[in-house]
Chains A and B, each alone.
Chain A
Amino acid sequence: MADHVMIERFSLTERTLHWVHATAFFILLGTGLVLYVPSLSESVGRRPLLKDVHVYTAVAWAILIALTFVLGDREGLRSTARELNRFDEDDRLWLRRHERPQGRFNAGQKLNAAVTAAFAVLFAVSGVLLWLGERDSTFRFASAILLHDALTFVSIVLVTGHLYLALIYPATRHSLRGITTGSVRYEWARRHHPKWLAARAEAAAAREAGDGV
């Protein structure tokens, strides 16, 4: 098939979820680092304002993520979650560095999705505990701030790898187009996600057979 043929990889709901999360993440990371790194705290100052931006961004993140679930394509998201959850034999071998055909998400992307979702929960829980703990000692866990910091450090490593693969690494950077416009080149998908194309073809054939009845 010609190289200019495009196919849809990410739905509008999936892209909205990604960009809401990504935008909030970078605002939270930027403000968080200024609040945390001594030299930045000193040079930038404005701590009360940055703290407000940090807290309200987190609130906006939670609301927008919930709205995306409520107003978006819930059935599509459920199906995506099933895809991300299931690791078949090819995925397991791929993780052990064998060249194996991959679906719409490769096994690394599936793991990244699971870790990102868990981190979102943990950031939210530890963040809420820090906020409440300043107001009421019942919610004061000395380890909440450690957890929030540890998540930040690991996230910086993960997001650096994510940005490298999305922006620089030649074999994968085309996926940025997918998460931005929704579609990717058919040829690129055939090379990197052949099982996805096979599953699409199977689903289309099943639909056609269904229509024929």
Chain B
Amino acid sequence: MTPDTESSDEPRAYGRRTFLAVTGVGLSSLLWGQPVWRSLAGLRQPILNALPPSLVPNGWRIYTVASSMPRFDPLTWRLRIDGLVGRQLSLSYADLKRLPRAEQVTTFHCVTGWSVNNVHWAGVRFRDLLAAAAPLADASVLTFTSAERPYVDTLTLDQVHVPNVMLAYEMDGKPLKREHGAPVRVVIPEMYGYKNVKWVEQITLGRHAQPGYWEQRGYSSDAWVGSNG
């Protein structure tokens, strides 16, 4: 039936049309949703900034695997560096902050499809972090153990030395928040978020990579952004 043939008092199939229109717009948004959302960034940012950050994720989604998030106590917290090293280290938060500081602005990509642009990170490059531990010649893999048990993941020594990889202690000008992995997390922007281990408390150097938490659950250990993750 076309609108021309409908007399004014004849029932019209508005119910079906509404259903099809809403479904059609929704399904097609899988193709245009994100570009449009990005183009509206200037409009939505003032609104998001006005809302309490505890209510709106502001681009971030907080993924955890344990029943509660680890709490950071600056007095007792230590970062252990062990395994195939010349010297095992136990660094306090203050020790870590005394190491050469690096900063970067990079994009964070999650394997589930969302990204956060222009995140301002500050932290320590792995070259500086590992220098005092003196990795042995046969060490090739770093295993990051999170205080959020049983989260663990690995990167190779080559991978932690690509540009813009760091152990970050600040995000957007402030100390890393609890939900982002306080006090320190791995930042490797070229890999999906599950390789960016939060709440790191131990770095073990070894020869072989063990599958990480999500890799044990089917994710690819090749987590380069754009790969299958």
Interface positions of A (Cβ within 8 A of B): 36-39, 41-42, 45-49, 81, 84-89, 91-92, 110-111, 113-115, 117-119, 121-122, 125-126, 129-130, 133-137, 140-147, 150-151
A133 and B113 form a contact (CB under 8 A): yes
Using A37-B57, A89-B8 as known contacts, say yes or no to A147 and B30 having CB atoms under 8 A apart.
yes
B179 within 8 A of A: yes
User: In the complex, what distance in Å separates the CA atom of A133 from the CA atom of B114?
Assistant: 11
Main secondary structure, interface of B, reads: loop
| CA A38 to CA B59, docked complex, whole Å | 11
Please give the residue numbers on chain B whose beta carbons come within 8 Å of chain A beta carbons, in ascending order: 8-16, 18-23, 26-27, 29-34, 37, 53-57, 60-69, 111-115, 178-179, 218-219, 227-229
Per CB-CB distance, the 7 closest pairs between chain A and chain B, nearest first, are A143-B33, A39-B54, A85-B15, A118-B22, A114-B18, A86-B11, A122-B26
B174 vs chain A, min Cβ distance (A): 15
Say whether A38 contacts B30, CB under 8 Å.
Answer: no
Number of A-B pairs, beta carbon distance below 8 Å:
147
Contact of B30 among A42, A46, A47, A141 (CB under 8 A): A141
Using CB atoms, name the residue of chain A closest to B32: A143
Distance, CA A113 to CA B14, complexed state (A): 11
**Which residues does chain B contribute within 8 Å of A121, judged by CB atoms?**
23, 26
Once A41-B179, A118-B22 are accepted as A-B contacts, the answer to whether A47 and B8 lie under 8 Å apart by CB is: no
Give CA–CA (A154, B115) in the complex, Å. 23
User: How near does chain B come to A107, taking the closest CB pair, in angstroms?
Assistant: 8
Distance to closest chain B CB from A15 (angstroms) = 20
The answer to whether B14 touches A85 (Cβ under 8 A) is yes
User: Which A residue's beta carbon lies closest to that of B53?
Assistant: A38
A114 to B23, CA, bound (A): 10
Question: Could you list some 13 contacts between A and B, CB below 8 A?
Answer: A84-B15, A85-B14, A118-B23, A119-B22, A119-B26, A122-B22, A130-B112, A133-B112, A136-B228, A140-B111, A142-B34, A147-B26, A147-B30
Across the interface, B15 reaches (CB within 8 A) one of A87, A126, A144, A145, namely: A87
Beyond A47-B64, A87-B12, is A137–B33 a contact (Cβ under 8 Å)? Answer: no
Nearest CB to that of A41 among chain B residues? B62
CB distance from B180 to the nearest CB of A (A): 10
Find out whether the CB atom of A48 lies under 8 angstroms from the CB atom of B65.
Answer: yes
* B contact residues around A110 at 8 Å (CB): 14-15
* Cβ 8 A contact of A42, one of B18, B66, B69, B115: B69
Query: Does A45 contact B68, Cβ atoms closer than 8 Å?
Result: yes
Residue of B nearest to A136 (CB): B228
Residue of B nearest to A83 (CB): B15
Complex CA distance for A125 and B26, rounded to whole angstroms? 10
Q: Which of A37, A41, A133 neighbours the largest number of chain B CB atoms within 10 Å of its CB?
A: A41
Of chain B, the residue at the smallest CB distance from A134 is B112
